[in-house]
Amino acid sequence: MKKELEYFTIDGAFGGSQDWFTNIVMHIGGCAAATACDCCIYLALRKEALYLYPGPVHSLTKEDYISFSQKMKPYIRPRVSGVKKLQWFIEGFEKYITDAAAGQEHPLPVTMSEFPGERSFHDAKDFVRSQIDAGYPIPYLLLRHREAEKYKDYIWHWFLLVGYEETEADLLVKTATYGESDTFSLRDLWDTGCTEKGGMIKLGTGYF
């Protein structure tokens, strides 16, 4: 079985990219904020949570995305060690959502919870399938990995999972980050071989 979300493009790019950020701090360490921005755009487009994105969501541009990232920055701010805990991402994103919902009439609620990297591969596989099947992208934090060269663009990095394909013994997952997509073995990606693992975030809305 294969399932991919109906993702979005910005000026031909697959989602947003922190490489576009002109603010040096965000350019280097804004992956968590960029992931939150992409979640907001997706939820506005596909779950009718229009209040989450302050611009014209049906005519996305790089310039508007960069401006949006600066609005997200105070909530999920880059720091020396990075946004290295799932709870830090949730706390910052929840504050943004609360402020964005202020003054809105019946804003669609958004919920979040942790799926820590210490869980088993089989649990992770079921989690990914259930979230994608329900139509939600998955914020993913990868800290360290024994195959550092293979995942060099993903080490100590926040990104999104936006699709999967089942195989006999694995789950191939599609990522979204830096305005591009890759496909990885979830079994290999999840089994980091390191103490500092990361994990995933479960998103939900009032439609759950």
Q: How does pLDDT run across 86-132, given as a tens digit for each residue? A: 999 999 999 999 999 998 988 999 999 999 999 999 999 999 999 99
Tell me the C-alpha to C-alpha distance, in Å, between residue 26 and each of 10, 62, 85.
19, 15, 18
Q: How does pLDDT run across 49-98, given as a tens digit for each residue? A: 999 999 999 999 999 999 999 999 999 988 878 899 999 999 999 999 99
Answer yes or no: pTM beyond 0.85: yes
**pLDDT of 23 strictly over 90:** no
Would you list the domain boundaries of the chain?
Answer: 2-205
Q: State mean pLDDT over 20-25.
A: 90
Instruction: Please say whether the structural domain 2-205 has been given the CATH code 2.60.40.1730.
Output: no
**For residue 26, what are the contacts with CB-CB under 8 A and spacing of at least 6?**
18, 33, 69, 70, 73, 78
C-alpha span between 93 and 152 (Å, rounded): 26
